[in-house]
Amino acid sequence: MAKGVREREFQNLMIQWSLPMGWGYTAGRSLSRETTQTVVVGELRDAIVRLNPEVIDGFDVDTVVEEIIATVNAVDGGLVRANEQVLKLLRGHKEFRGADGVWRALKVIDFEHPTDPTANTLVLSDEVTITVPGKTPRRFDLVYWVNGLPLVVVEVKSPTAKSGWADAAREINDVYATEYPWFFTPNVFSVASDGLKLRFGAASAPLNQWQPFRSTDDDENLSGQADVQRSVELLLKPAAVLDMLGNFVLFSTSGGGADKKYLPRYPQMEAAHLIHERVLSDGQKGLIWHHQGSGKTLLMVFAASLLLADTRTESPTIILLSDRTQLVRQTSGVFTSAMGDAYFHQPATSKKLCSLLADDVRGVISTTVHKFADAGKDLSTRGNIIVLVDEAHRTQSAEEESLAGQMRAALPNAKFFGMTGTPIRNLSTNTFALFGEEADPDRVLHRYSVSRSLQDEATVPVVLDPHPVLFEMNDQALQAEFDQFADEFDLDDPDRENLSRKFGRLTSVFANPERIQTVCQDIVDHYLAGAYRNGLKAQVEVPPLCGRC
């Protein structure tokens, strides 16, 4: 694409911000690759030799490299499915056959030492060209390479141009990933920025799934270029890129719908790591207070994945607890696709749940709190049972006879982490006391506020538009109907007075069919004239008739 001076200046700024984080710079034209190649073959080969010193002598390294390149270039099943297969390879989950006929997993990337130059080769390049015969050559603004593999692609627009980050994202989706999908099979995420805003997302993902990347510790008012620079420093540091690759990219490619790739929001990454750290330090609980709609169910899956992958947790049992079967199914679908069925359990009955826990089953159990009814005491006394509770403000109380109380009696040494957007503190329920550690600020382990959620566009604001509907009643006609009714049933004066108070004018007005018709018509007219025409959603909020309703 044609580039103005300011666009190039911003591109250079991103390079300057990246170099102190450990990236080495090599101009795209100076990379040791043909423009037809996705992989920098020499760097990949060196990394395989370097990272597998104990077993590499038993392999034909060139054959291994050829197999990796073939996997990278295979996109027959679609980009998302191909991306899943390549990322499994990059995580070290693919086995290669050695000269002795034995299959062994080989490291391609060192996740434990992301910036150690003796472990990983980190290269940032600009103006990286890709072309094959019969296709228009394309040029990526920035590419971040790890051991010769393009993990991040960046497209920028000028801060002074009319086009913005969304145009950059569309260019990645509709041009680059469409015409050259094999360049994106190793892609962890892509970045689009116009110098004033930055968003990251999965290549080919809809624009509404491209998100900002910030920190909940930073000033919420950070904006413009300062916000973009901070996002670059947080998102594109090598440790963050490899953390996302190794721990947080999930897929749903098991059939029964469109293939999906899930990338975490930054509060999900922060909270999942805090839960992981709390468990490793033998903490007993933690409260995650994230605004509604910010992805708490997916956060539970990310946290569970971290805990299961860490040998220090000693094969834990992780209970994903919801209060609705719909949420159980949602959690189950994402988790089984991401982690497989081998260690996943979804008991259909209370008896089956109790049997799993009594038999010391490890892995993940997805269930509802209602299945703990009558579970009894000390069903399992292990300390490495971790309960992740969705919508923790509901069905959760400290009373022994409650469902939550029975669950805690059945699992006396378990660790409990509550996810909620609306914690409650009243006489019967105290979410803060039940899940919050005293040492945590305000008893909250991690907080993602309403204001941050709105700023990130993770949720949308709700505008209240009071809309009273005027309706006139004929008092004389109403009284005449009441008198006729009372006469027919021969009511005495005290009965007439009681009935008049209980089912008087207010109830008659609200239950009047003509008024109901008027209100419904007003709702439809108001919605079609406003929210519908502007592409918005709407809900009807009906106030109670009295304080007890």
pLDDT in tens, 18-69: 999 999 999 999 999 999 999 999 999 999 999 999 999 889 999 999 999 9
User: Is the domain of 277 the same as that of 379?
Assistant: yes
Same domain, 423 and 523: no
∠ Cα 61 63 68 (to 5°): 95
Give the containing element (helix H, strand E) for 362.
none
User: With 50 as the cut, is the pLDDT of residue 2 above it?
Assistant: no
In this structure, are 293 and 149 located in the same domain?
A: no
Q: Where are the alpha helices (DSSP H) in 263-323?
A: 266-280, 296-309
| Whether residue 401 sits in one domain with residue 278 | yes
77-134 pLDDT tens trace: 899 999 999 999 999 989 999 888 889 999 999 999 999 989 999 999 999 999 999 8
The mean per-residue pLDDT over the stretch 360-368 comes to: 89
C-alpha distance from residue 273 to each of 51, 289, 362, 448 (Å): 26, 15, 21, 14
Tell whether 200 and 307 lie within a shared domain.
Answer: no
How confident is the model at residue 484, as a pLDDT?
79
Q: What is the pLDDT of residue 3?
A: 47
Geometric angle at alpha carbon 59, from 57 and 64, rounded to 5°: 135
- Cβ-contact 238, 22 below 8 angstroms: yes
Which residue bears the tokens 């930054």?
266
Nearest to residue 265, comparing CAs of 187, 210, 315? 210
Residues 138, 59 within the same domain: yes
Name all contacts of 255-258 with Cβ < 8 Å and 24+ positions apart.
none
Q: Which of 253, 154, 255, 259 is nearest to 201 (CA)?
A: 154
Q: Say whether 222 sits in a helix, a strand or coil.
A: coil
What pLDDT, on the 0 to 100 scale, is given for residue 531? Answer: 72
Q: How much is the pLDDT for 112?
A: 94
Would you give the distance in Å from CA 399 to the centre of its chain?
A: 32
- Is residue 258 domain-resident? no
Q: What are phi and psi of 55, to 5 degrees?
A: -125, -10
Helix (H) or strand (E) run with residue 514 in it: helix 513-529
Q: How confident is the model at residue 404 (pLDDT cuts 50, 70, 90)?
A: confident
User: 3-class DSSP state for residue 152?
Assistant: strand
* pLDDT category of residue 237 using cuts at 50, 70 and 90: very high
547 DSSP assignment: T
The two structure tokens encoding residue 80: 């998302």
Residues 172, 190 contacting (CB under 8 angstroms):
yes
Asked which of 227, 250, 273 is the last residue of a domain, the reply is: 250
Q: Edge-to-edge strand order for the sheet containing 415-420?
A: 344-345, 363-368, 317-322, 385-389, 415-420, 285-290, 446-448
Please give the residue range of the domain that contains residue 157.
5-250
pLDDT digits (tens, 9 = 90+) for 246-302: 999 988 876 666 788 999 999 999 999 999 999 999 999 999 999 877 788 889 889
Q: Is the pLDDT of residue 539 over 90?
A: no
Task: State the Cα–Cα distance between residues 526 and 544, nearest whole angstrom.
Answer: 21
In the chain, how many domains are there? 3
pTM of the model: 0.83
Is 372 part of any domain? Answer: yes
**Cα distance between the two ends of the chain:** 62
Shared domain check, 473 and 416: no
pLDDT of amino acid 492: 78
- Assess whether 299 and 354 both reside in one domain: yes
As a 3-state breakdown, the chain gives helix, strand, coil percent values, each rounded to 5, of 45, 15, 40
Band (pLDDT 50/70/90 cuts) for residue 329 is low
Which residue(s) pair with 149 in the sheet?
146
